[in-house]
Amino acid sequence: MWESFLVSHLNFNWDEVHQVAEQLEHIQSEKLTNELERFLDYPTHDPHGDPIPNRALFMKSYNKILLTELPLNKEGVCVGVKDNSPDFLRYLDRRQIGIGTPILILHREDFDQSLHIQAGNSTLMITQKTAENIYIKP
């Protein structure tokens, strides 16, 4: 939840929040946790697309696949990342790919499986390694 708060209300980028959120998670206040959850309107996923458990430890999930599994000419929406390292998140930011970005596979290269994609309003080429680290909801 702290990651969601830092991104949505304190203007942190998704590549900056992990370390700060880990420090904040050590605060042992049930009231603070409850009020933060209420303030954020009970978020179900963090800024990287990972599920956030509710008080009953239930985590909302949805069908997701890796971008490499999305068929040609089929559109999906980015719902998470496998690699949440700051370098990878900044790489995606520079390509304007984030949670909620619609992605369409236009072409797959036979030689190295790199992908030509439509991501939002941009046409890009990404490596197979990149595609293996992006979760899509078909």
Q: What is the pLDDT of residue 11?
A: 85
- Is residue 92 a contact partner of residue 85, using CB atoms and an 8 Å limit? no
Domain 65-137 has CATH 3.10.50.40: no
Q: What residues does each domain of the chain span?
A: 1-61, 65-137
Looking at the chain, the whole-number percentage of residues with pLDDT higher than 90 is: 54
Determine the Cα–Cα distance for residues 117 and 52; give it in Å rounded to an integer: 29
Domain 1-61 has CATH 1.10.10.10: yes
Closest of 15, 41, 36 to residue 98, by C-alpha? 15
Q: Give residue-wise pLDDT tens across range 108-123.
A: 999 999 999 999 999 9
- Helices 2-9 and 30-39: crossing angle in degrees, nearest 10, is 50
